[in-house]
Amino acid sequence: MVLSPDGEYTGIGERGIEKEVDRVVQFERFWFVRIDSVSGGEVMAYFTHK
C-alpha cells in the first residue's frame, strides 16, 4: 500500500522489495516512495515526490 496526500493506493511489488526498507525507490508509473515496512508480505510505503 502507498499512502499519499491524495489517498491510498495498492499494487504489486517486485521480488526483493523487502530489502528496501527505509530507502526511497521509484515505483514504475508511480514516481518515488519510501518503503516504511514489510510485514507478512504486505509493504507499507509513503509517496515522497514525482
CB 26 within 8 A of CB 35: no
- Encode pLDDT of 3-44 as tens digits: 898 899 988 888 898 899 999 999 888 889 999 999 988 999
Rounded to the nearest angstrom, the gap between the alpha carbon of residue 5 and the centroid of all alpha carbons in its chain is: 14
DSSP 14: P
Per-residue pLDDT, 11: 84
Report residue 46 as a C-alpha cell: 509513503
**C-alpha–C-alpha distance, residues 31 and 50, integer Å:** 5
What is the longest distance spanned by two Cα atoms in the chain?
28
Q: pTM higher than 0.85, yes or no? A: no
Per-residue pLDDT, 20: 94
Cα radius of gyration (the chain): 10
